[in-house]
Chains A and B, each alone.
Chain A
Amino acid sequence: MLLVLLKSIPSFLRFRLITREIYFAGVMSLIIILVSGLFVGMVLGLQGYETLQKYGSESAVGTLVALSLLRELGPVIAALLFASRAGSAMTAEIGLMKATEQLAAMGMMAVDPIARIVAPRFWGGVFSMPLLAAMFSVVGIFGGYLVAVVFIGVDEGSFWSQMQSSVDFRYDVVNGVIKSCFFGVVVTAIAVFEGFDAPPTAEGVSGATTRTVVTSSLAILGLDFVLTAFMFRGVS
Chain B
Amino acid sequence: MQRTMMDFWVGLFVMAGIGALLVLGLKVGNLTDFQADKGYVLIGNFENVGGLKVRAPVKSAGVVVGRVVDIQFSVKTYDAVVTVKVDMQYQFPKDTFASILTSGLLGEQYIGLLPGGDEEMLTDGDKFIKTNSAIVLEEMIGRFLFDRASEKKDSDPEI
Contact = CB atoms under 8 A, between A and B. Distances in A.
Task: Verify whether A and B have any Cβ pair under 8 Å.
Answer: yes
Contacts of B18: 131
A167 B55 contact: no
Contact of B29 (A19, A167, A236): A167
B33 interface: yes
Contacts of A138: 20, 23-24
A171 B55 contact: yes
Interface residues of B, number: 27
What is the interface of chain A mostly: helix, strand, loop, or mixed?
Answer: helix
B25 interface: yes
Contacts of A173: 24-25, 28-29
Contacts, number: 81
B10 interface: yes
Contacts of A130: 17, 21
B7 A19 contact: yes
A236 B108 contact: yes
> Which of B6, B14, B28 has the most chain A CB within a 10 Å cutoff?
B28
A23 B108 contact: no
B28 A236 contact: no
Nearest to A65: B28
18 contacts: A19-B6, A26-B13, A30-B13, A131-B16, A132-B17, A134-B17, A134-B20, A134-B24, A135-B20, A137-B20, A163-B28, A164-B30, A169-B31, A171-B55, A172-B29, A173-B28, A176-B24, A234-B53
Interface of B: 1, 6-7, 9-10, 12-14, 16-18, 20-21, 23-25, 27-31, 33, 53-55, 64, 108
